[in-house]
Structure 1
């Protein structure tokens, strides 16, 4: 009897732990997919490779409604400071479909749990201009996720940037005193 109880308890523990691990991995995978989607869309938007309305429609499902407002989002994302919907549409009409003049590879960290019930993901993007006279740019970002309607959505991000030939490297390198572990690489413009 004692042995049967032990076996049942062990089976229950194994099933519980397995379900948690599967659920956690599923959550982490969805967060990673959101990061990839945000990065690809942001690069397409910055290079006029996606319509304004398509971009705004696509990002809506990955950003938290408290963080996402159309006016603020366009200012946060686009490298041209004085941009609005009308100016973007005009610029996109003038841009050629091969306006992407660089290659970009993104490295994505594992998903970290924050002390404030948020999830954190770090990215490193290396932007290599096809014009070899231009410097290589590095972007390091820290995305914050919170739950909204039982889904993890981007609530904000911090970013740092430096140019190889001109600046001292500035990157996120640690989280909670430990080196950030990057687990995935994605070419943003395959």
Structure 2
């Protein structure tokens, strides 16, 4: 009877062969569109983590942050203080339930999207994060086709990350990678305040 160590080694050899085969088959080099959606926590955090990863490899990144524009944001503080070379634009109007002003939200979204279009044309950028863009699409603040065209016509090597709840079917179909972040449990629903440096 084979020992557990030998069985483990054989299983890992089989797994390595499968992984190596998949790696060998992936030959296309191009930027991708990643959509991080769902009702769970961590979509923006994942997007910003990818920006840090990009910068860590010596590439350039740009950020446009929709919705969360008027409150303290640890990610923005870090980027602006430690990585001032990173273009970082904020919509500035804040959460829709705070503004309660559709006309103002549309104007703010228009200004932010104009900045996003600039970044999406910049071939020096390896990655562009469009944080909470799904809300702009959901509320119809910017025409969907205008957004899709800008993303589709970006430089070939540029990757784009879109975050936010309720990503549309059309956006999901356009994406190369879609991750649905689930909501199993959240401290806030148990009456625990959002924590600075953890939640924001």
**TM-score with structure 2 length normalisation?**
0.28
Structure of greater relative contact order (alpha carbons < 8 Å, 6+ residues apart): 2
Higher normalized helix content (fraction of residues): 2
Judging by fraction of residues, say which structure has more strand. 1
* TM-score (norm. length: structure 1): 0.29
